[in-house]
Chain A
Amino acid sequence: MLKFSADHHFVIGRTHEYGGIPCQDYALSSGGENVAMATISDGCSSANGTDVGARLLAHTAIAAIWEHWTEFRSPFAKNAIERISSDQRMLTLRAAQSLGLPHSALHATSAHAYFSSSRGGYVHLSGDGVIALKLTDGSMKLTRFDWADNTPCYPLYALDGYTAFIGAHGGDLGGKVCTKEEWVRHPDRGFVLVGISPLTLREGIRGFTEHVEAETMERTLDTIAVFTDGVTQIDGIDWKDAVVQLLNFKTTEGVFAKRRLNRFVADAKKAGKGPLDDLAYAVIRIVRDDEKGEESDDTQSAAESGA
């Protein structure tokens, strides 16, 4: 019998902290007996109010997922991603209207994970960031998504049918403007590059989805995590090492992700400047009946593993 626990955290990056700009990353999560959800959002740094926009997008993502779960009880039912994305847009617009926020304040990425204890689930990302899946044997799959000119697709670009966004990327839906970089980390072999794939504008607008079947989840999955692209901008620390360290939970009670991120940032600031950009992550853990609550220490670095 498995259930879920979830946690999330976000920290302001050095650039914003010193520039007097609020943190524009946000994260939320919820995990229990039957269902778990996690979301992150990263506001566009060149638009005003996207700190609020990112928060709205995270809250409406969770609200939309709950709505879907209440009705369908499965992450794979009834075009879940499309419905949730559409509901998220509608809820976000409504909230922004009541606050008098311009649409530009809603320019933020959005990623969410939605899992059921009996069906498995998925992670879906619109924009840029990192998805990580950690297995019970300690291995990890890391996937990073980037966009040309640091111009990711925001869900709310759908309001004009992505017209302006398509134009900003040269007008060609078949143009290769995104990159998907996949790695696998083995506990004994370190990081192995699976591939770097260019993706079209059309594929990028659709977003990126990682599905996990129930059997895979039950047998081998330990942790699912989504990160904003701030994880790729930590002074002196490769993004893959950062992901590994941020998923190396020493204990798993309560606010386990907050503790890990707080310590990670404190250590990163001793060694360098720490996170240069805002950083948010949300984590879902698969909790099995025999779990004791204290993780084994997995501190093998990329250097040690020879990657």
Chain B
Amino acid sequence: MKKNALLIAFISFPLLTNAQDFFNSYEDQRDVTFAVINKSMIRLLTKIDIGDEEAQNFLEMAKGIDNIKVIMTESPQKEAKIKADVEKYVGTSNGLEELMRVKDEGQSIKFYSREGKDESHVSELLMFLNGEIEGKKGTVLLSITGDVNLNDISKLTKQLNVPGSENLNKIEKKN
């Protein structure tokens, strides 16, 4: 019985890979645009006076973030792979739940989140967008990990310039 349990644990271990691993697998792939901004970068940015007050506020708020990752692709094959990876990740990961779905203007967007320190905070926010982006069909996957305040999300949206992120506003209103 114990042996079986161990075996199962070993087999399922790869499925429990965290967001870091699954995102990083796209680093070497063609047809994928990929960006990672780490905490250290955000911290440095908060010390630089960008001159834009909104951006400055955003950076103050972003201090709690561990990292921001974005993947974008126009390739249908890569889209399918990302979709599958997201489903696997959401399905097996502890505590990641669907937060919201939006279908609007040719785009289909899903938000997932993992509970944070309290009701208005999440420790992980995942956005999967699929559909028309600036006239082309594409897919965007955005992940924010750390100490994310849902109430501040609208500030994030303005600064991130990531397609679909304006929908984060709707999360804020819902809460």
Q: Do A and B come from one complex?
A: no
Interface residues, chain B, with chain A CB atoms under 8 Å away:
none
